Chain A
Amino acid sequence: MSDPADPEAAPLSATHPDQPRDFVAPGADRDFAGERLTVDPAGARALLDARLIAAHAAGDTARLVTLYAEAGDSSEAAGDAAAAAFYRTHAYVFALQSGDSRAEELHRWLLREGREE
């Protein structure tokens, strides 16, 4: 397992290279500038990607579970079952890796959807 990288050094995205890692609180509906994330789905996606990239770079598996699970939830809310399964698969994998108890619930959902064994 890799050591958590220095959060200061973790890359975010091309558009916001200098933002701190947690510039959007988990579950927040506004970004760092106070703008609503939902008014710009592409922007919201970019922010999620940035948070994921930072968590991947830091090797922060607990945060990866959280972020991928959130992405799964919002995909489901938006009626995109395929995207929900994709994100929840990732949440499940990182939960397995880190011994996170959320693995069981994610597994149950994937199983129900016919996507797991």
Chain B
Amino acid sequence: MTVTDSDLAAVSAPVEQARGLPNACYTDPAHFAREADAVFFASWAGLAFAADAPEPGDVKPVRFLGQPLLLARDREGVLRVFLNVCRHRGMILVEEAARLPRAIRCPYHSWCYELDGRLRTTPHVGGPGTNRHAAIDRAQLGLVEVRSHVWMGVVWVNLDGKAPEFETYAADLRARWAAFDRPLAFAPDGAFELEVACNWKLAVENYCESYHLPWVHPGLNSYSRLEDHYNIEAPGTHSGQGTRAYRPMLAEDGRRFPVIAGLDAQWEEGAEYVALYPNVLLGVHKDHAFAILLCPQGPERTVERIAIGYFDTAVLGEDWAPMRARNAAMWKEVFEEDIFVVEGMQKGRHAGGFDGGRFSPVMDSPTHCFHAWVAERLRQPA
């Protein structure tokens, strides 16, 4: 069922009257393809973690909504994203993550590319033993680079190349979180994945609001009460929630993770959780931050990749390992508690008579803010 402009207008209405996105937005493969273009490729979307290719020479293939992409870190340590496709006959270049000593050799006719994308040689292109030809201009035939930007350990990409600069897109959130705009040390043992049977948007919607906390995360509620929470809404880029009462974790021996020095009162006491549209869920606290990358696998399947980073590199040391493990386990439990609701909402989207649902004008406005953004992206002329 095609999602029409009048369906979308109902979504964009003021929160008091608005309906949620219609079922087809969650279940229809044709709509999923439309969304890939209009919502993901036309925006800055989260692709991977910078830690997926940590060292010079590292290459990692990533499929992104059907697009074969390649993360590559060159000798100087610069991370880029390319189409994972040879400029000759379109062979897939890299099938598995690897640490390459130098060039990427296409497995088909052995055209070789430097890790920065330059085409280095084209063996026999002018006949056996002749590796040049007037028609083959190497300067024009490097790997096709995709616009990318790294922030908070996440590699963002803009596939259609037409979005404003990432710095512009994320400017409001970066300003809001200026206190946290500093290097993050990601612990390999703080990374985990969850596979969920739902559309990626349901994970965003659930993440944005605090309405469900006392019901779905009663454990959290004991120290982070609903009334301590507030909504965050920046139409067009992000929305989410914050808490005024963040209680850092205590180690068995009474220690706490080191915190950023000199924070103001808001960040001494609070924490915030924001979805930077479309698919990256971020959380910041005075002692750590995390990023959840939503990797859509189809209309009804999403892989969530979670990475936890610390503002003090000392926390990556051995003596903090048990505490890091507890922190990761705590977040994993929270995110796992959300699975039954996002999967349950997905099942609900198969009820033909469901009209997209209604929002609490008070509690659900961050979710409505996200829906309005999605609806607006879909209405953009292709």
> Which residues in A have some Cβ–Cβ distance to B below 8 Å?
1, 82-86, 88-90, 92-93, 96-99, 103, 110, 114-117
What are the residues of chain A within 8 A of B110 when measuring CB–CB? 93
Which label, helix, strand, loop or mixed, suits the secondary structure of the B interface? loop
Rounded to whole angstroms, the CA-CA distance of A97 and B104 in the bound complex is: 6
Q: Pick from A84, A89, A99, A110: contact of B101, CB below 8 A.
A: A99
Q: A1–B112 contact, CB under 8 A?
A: no
Closest to B124 in A: A89
What are the residues of chain A within 8 A of B98 when measuring CB–CB? 1
> In this assembly, does B301 line the interface, its C-beta being within 8 Å of a C-beta of chain A?
no
Rounded to whole angstroms, the CA-CA distance of A99 and B57 in the bound complex is: 11
Rounded to whole angstroms, the CA-CA distance of A98 and B100 in the bound complex is: 7
Q: B132–A93 contact, CB under 8 A?
A: no
Q: A93–B121 contact, CB under 8 A?
A: yes
Q: B103–A97 contact, CB under 8 A?
A: yes
User: Which residues from 93 to 114 on chain B have a C-beta closer than 8 Å to any C-beta of chain A?
Assistant: 96, 98, 100-103, 105, 110, 112
Q: B121–A96 contact, CB under 8 A?
A: yes
> In this assembly, does B129 line the interface, its C-beta being within 8 Å of a C-beta of chain A?
yes
Rounded to whole angstroms, the CA-CA distance of A84 and B110 in the bound complex is: 18
What are the residues of chain A within 8 A of B120 when measuring CB–CB? 96
Task: Report B117-131 CB contacts with A as 1/0, cut-off 8 Å.
Answer: 000110110101111
Q: A86–B128 contact, CB under 8 A?
A: yes
> In this assembly, does B138 line the interface, its C-beta being within 8 Å of a C-beta of chain A?
yes
Q: B123–A93 contact, CB under 8 A?
A: yes
Closest to B114 in A: A96
User: Which residues from 27 to 56 on chain B have a C-beta closer than 8 Å to any C-beta of chain A?
Assistant: none
Rounded to whole angstroms, the CA-CA distance of A99 and B115 in the bound complex is: 12
Rounded to whole angstroms, the CA-CA distance of A114 and B101 in the bound complex is: 27
Q: A97–B105 contact, CB under 8 A?
A: yes
What are the residues of chain B within 8 A of A117 when measuring CB–CB? 131-132, 138
What are the residues of chain A within 8 A of B131 when measuring CB–CB? 89, 92, 110, 115-117
Nearest Cβ on chain B to A78's Cβ, whole angstroms: 15
What are the residues of chain A within 8 A of B96 when measuring CB–CB? 1
Contact A82:B129 (CB < 8 A) given known A89-B123, A97-B112, A116-B121: yes
Q: B132–A92 contact, CB under 8 A?
A: no
Rounded to whole angstroms, the CA-CA distance of A28 and B262 in the bound complex is: 71
Rounded to whole angstroms, the CA-CA distance of A84 and B130 in the bound complex is: 11
Q: A99–B132 contact, CB under 8 A?
A: no
Rounded to whole angstroms, the CA-CA distance of A103 and B110 in the bound complex is: 15
Q: Which 4 A-B pairs have the closest CB atoms?
A: A99-B101, A85-B129, A99-B102, A86-B129
Nearest Cβ on chain B to A38's Cβ, whole angstroms: 23
Q: A115–B129 contact, CB under 8 A?
A: yes
Nearest Cβ on chain B to A104's Cβ, whole angstroms: 12
Closest to B139 in A: A117
Q: A98–B129 contact, CB under 8 A?
A: no
Rounded to whole angstroms, the CA-CA distance of A90 and B128 in the bound complex is: 11
Rounded to whole angstroms, the CA-CA distance of A12 and B129 in the bound complex is: 25
24 CB-based A-B contacts, threshold 8 Å: A1-B98, A1-B100, A85-B129, A86-B129, A88-B129, A89-B129, A92-B121, A92-B131, A93-B121, A93-B123, A96-B105, A96-B120, A97-B100, A97-B103, A97-B112, A98-B101, A99-B102, A103-B102, A110-B131, A114-B130, A115-B126, A115-B129, A115-B130, A116-B131
Rounded to whole angstroms, the CA-CA distance of A116 and B100 in the bound complex is: 23
Q: Pick from A82, A93, A96: contact of B128, CB below 8 A.
A: A82
Rounded to whole angstroms, the CA-CA distance of A31 and B2 in the bound complex is: 72
